[in-house]
């Protein structure tokens, strides 16, 4: 067989291996996707696992194609391993992000749909890839955060617990009967069906400012009700105090002029 014919046969075999690889990958992805959907694994892990499987399949295809053309795969792997140090130095950031993704999978500091904040970024977790995690902000922007950033910084997960505490501060006049103001605010907050009975609503003096006595209101609710309760309470609080005859002062200064 001529050299050209031999080369043509090898090319055809290589193409066949690539086609088989695509078919196997497609079938494996569908089967694995269905299998993962029936497990209790966090949905965020599904995409990560599928990406790992894709990498493994394509590595096998590449090795098979190399074997077709007569390359010694073991020798090439040795060469690649020797060059790995240089590549690792050039891709330190990417390797750090990949390692961060693995650690996120193992430690599970957050799940799909959780609202998190980290290193100045915040939003609901949409999915995690090999190198990055995608967040969706409250105003529907997409934020892509490197996994290395997430794993090397403090993460605040606002959705991890089923309940959250709403903290609101408001100032009242120094002429106000504090116990009366506390009762008005306590009754108002407790009347909201979203507020949990336990722990009980807490209202107390937080600080004595220059122009007002600052009261703090603390109420517990289900995590899903947090933002609605916070904004609704803050919006209505002024009218509630005004109707109760309690004034909310604004900063002011008394100036005394002495004639000498």
- The pLDDT of residue 44 is 63
Mean pLDDT of 216-239: 95
Angle 65-67-69 from CA coordinates, rounded to 5°: 75
Name the pTM for this structure.
Answer: 0.63
Among 166, 167, 169, 173, residue whose Cα is nearest residue 242? 173
Residue 122 pLDDT > 90, yes or no? Answer: yes
**CA distances (Å), origin 190, targets 20, 137, 184:** 65, 31, 10
Confidence of residue 114 (pLDDT cuts 50, 70, 90): very high
Out of 1-15, 51-65, 128-142, 181-195, least confident range? 1-15
Mean pLDDT of 37-51: 71
Half-sphere exposure of 218 (CA within 13 A, CB side): 12
Residue 136 to residue 122: CA distance in whole angstroms:
8
Mean pLDDT over each residue of the chain, to the nearest integer? 83
Q: What does the block give as tokens for 128?
A: 């995690």
Half-sphere exposure of 133 (CA within 13 A, CB side): 35
């Amino acid at each position: 067989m001529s050299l050209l014919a031999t080369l043509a046969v090898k090319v055809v075999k290589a193409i066949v291996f690539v086609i088989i690889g695509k078919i196997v990958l497609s079938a494996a992805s569908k089967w694995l996707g269905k299998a993962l959907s029936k497990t209790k694994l966090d949905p965020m892990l599904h995409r990560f696992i599928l990406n790992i499987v894709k990498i493994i399949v394509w590595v096998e295809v590449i090795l098979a194609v190399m074997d077709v053309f007569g390359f010694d795969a073991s020798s090439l792997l040795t060469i690649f391993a020797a060059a790995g140090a240089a590549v690792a130095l050039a891709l330190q950031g990417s390797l750090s992000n990949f390692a961060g993704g693995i650690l996120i999978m193992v430690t599970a500091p957050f799940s799909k749909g959780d609202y998190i904040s980290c290193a100045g970024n915040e939003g609901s977790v949409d999915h995690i890839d090999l190198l990055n995690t995608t967040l969706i902000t409250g105003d529907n922007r997409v934020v892509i955060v490197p996994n290395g950033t997430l794993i090397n910084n403090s993460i605040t997960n606002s959705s991890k617990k089923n309940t959250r505490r709403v903290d609101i501060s408001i100032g009242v006049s120094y002429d106000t009967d504090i116990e009366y103001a506390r009762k008005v605010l306590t009754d108002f907050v407790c009347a909201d069906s979203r507020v949990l009975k336990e722990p009980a609503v807490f209202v107390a003096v937080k600080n004595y400012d220059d122009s007002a006595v600052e009261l703090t209101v603390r109420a517990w609710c289900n995590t899903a009700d947090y933002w609605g309760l916070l904004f609704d309470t803050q919006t209505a609080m002024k009218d509630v105090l005004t109707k109760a005859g309690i004034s909310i002062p604004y900063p002011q200064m008394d100036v005394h002029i002495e004639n000498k």
